[in-house]
Amino acid sequence: MTLLHLFDLDGTLMFGSAAPVEISRQLGLSVEIAELERSFGAQEIGPQEFSVAAHALWADLTPAHVRAAFDGSPWLMGIQEVWREIRERGDHCAVISLSPSFFVELLLEWGAHAAHGSVFPEVPFTRPVEVAGILTPEGKVTVADRLCAQFGVTRDNCVAYGDSRTDAVLFETVPVSVAVNARPYLAQRATHVYEGRDLREAYQLVAVTRPGVEAS
Per-residue pLDDT averaged across 50-59, rounded? Answer: 97
Do 116 and 49 share a domain, yes or no? no
- Whole-number pLDDT of residue 208: 65
Query: Quick one: pLDDT at residue 69?
Result: 98
Claim to verify: residue 61 and residue 85 sit in the same structural domain: no
Per-residue confidence (pLDDT) for residue 176, from 0 to 100? 97
Residues 152 and 94 in one domain: yes
Kindly tell me if the per-residue pLDDT of 189 is higher than 60.
Answer: yes
Q: Give the model confidence (pLDDT) of 110-146 as tens digits.
A: 999 999 999 999 999 999 999 999 999 999 999 999 9
Whole-number Å distance between alpha carbons of 8 and 207: 18
Whether 216 is in a domain gets the answer: no
Residue 210 has pLDDT above 80, yes or no: no
- Pair 160, 191: CB distance under 8 Å: no
Residue 162: pLDDT over 80 = yes
What is the share, in percent, of the chain residues with pLDDT greater than 70?
96
The number of distinct structural domains making up the chain is 2
Which residue range is the domain that position 32 belongs to?
Answer: 19-71
Whether 62 and 144 map to the same domain: the answer is: no
